[in-house]
Copies of this chain bind each other. A is one copy, B any other.
Amino acid sequence: MKHSIQTCYSPSLYHLFEDPEAIVVVVDVLRATSAICTAIHNGVDNMIPVAHLEEALRYKKQGYLVAAERNAIMQDGCDFGNSPSHYLNNALEGKTVVISTTNGTQAIDAAKDATTTLIGSFLNISTVSAWLKKQNRNVIVLCAGWKNKYNLEDSLFAGALALELLKDSRFFTECDSTISAGYLYDLAKKDLFGFLENSSHRKRLNNLHLEDDILYCLTPDSLNTIPYVTEGLIKKMPADYKLEPRKVLADMKQG
């Protein structure tokens, strides 16, 4: 049985891709999912993704640690923005952090009915692809984009992941977004930082002097942790994690 790879360029188009058996990989390279991967890798126990800022601030009033960013800027009354740099040491080990960002948490919210949602970034891309190759499932890469528009950096991740999976003959793609993302990654792979120089979000972050963050987020394979969404929380996927059996196949056997 062959497994398809699809890429969705905007959270608001995700309903066109839904596949109850697929594994969804949510990516927001600059910077939400890079921050989540870093936090979970360095010991944060739970992250609570919330789409709306008001909800994040309600958690803050209840005493939670809150990371909230809009338009690349940390929001008033919160503990962090969405820079991975907040999580580079283990000061937050065992803690719960509520997170709300311009694009990343909207993408996680869009995929909330998926049976399995992983959090991807260049930081953990090889760990994610190695794990996906061990499952027998279709894959949907859900790019957070920028306010529901396409962005280059998330597409590059989608292309990189797809090209890696397609080395395994059990995967295939007939999805134009995936094919396009693969071409782009091939053009960019020797110098992701340079390739993104003209991208809209890179310019936005440059204006805020976040060059170190960008360099960090574009460094592949610095982490071997897969965060995943379980019962509304983002947690570290345990080594013995098993996918639920395919419902569709189970229903067919019953039927």
Give every chain B residue within 8 A of A155 (Cβ-Cβ): 176, 180
Give every chain B residue within 8 A of A187 (Cβ-Cβ): 183, 187
Would you give the shortest CB distance from A222 to chain B, in whole angstroms? Answer: 25
How many copies make up the complex?
Answer: 2
**Which of under 10, 10 to 19, 20 to 34, or 35 or more describes the interface residues of A?**
20 to 34
A149 within 8 A of B: yes
* Given A9-B9, A200-B174, CB of A150 within 8 Å of CB of B16: no
A116 within 8 A of B: no
1/0 per residue, CB under 8 A from B, across A149-163: the answer is 111100100000000
A198 within 8 A of B: yes
**What CA separation (Å) do A200 and B175 show in the bound complex?**
6
**What CA separation (Å) do A148 and B151 show in the bound complex?**
17
Residues of A124-161 contacting chain B, CB below 8 A: 146-152, 155
* Given A184-B183, A184-B184, CB of A150 within 8 Å of CB of B176: yes
Give every chain B residue within 8 A of A10 (Cβ-Cβ): 10, 13
Contact of A149 among B149, B150, B177, B199 (CB under 8 A): B177
A224 within 8 A of B: no
Give every chain B residue within 8 A of A89 (Cβ-Cβ): none
Instruction: Tell me whether A149 and B180 are in contact (CB under 8 A).
Output: no
Instruction: Tell me whether B176 and A199 are in contact (CB under 8 A).
Output: yes
For A156, give the chain B residue with the smallest CB separation: B180
A12 within 8 A of B: yes
Sorted from nearest, which 9 A-B pairs have the closest CB atoms? A150-B177, A152-B176, A151-B176, A176-B200, A174-B200, A150-B176, A176-B199, A16-B149, A16-B148
Of the A-B pairs whose beta carbons lie under 8 Å apart in the complex, a sample of 18, sorted by A's number, is A10-B10, A10-B13, A12-B13, A16-B147, A16-B149, A146-B176, A149-B176, A149-B177, A150-B150, A150-B177, A151-B176, A174-B200, A176-B201, A180-B180, A180-B184, A183-B183, A183-B184, A184-B184
Chain A residues packing against B (C-beta within 8 Å): 9-10, 12-13, 16-17, 146-152, 155, 174-177, 179-180, 183-184, 187, 198-201, 203
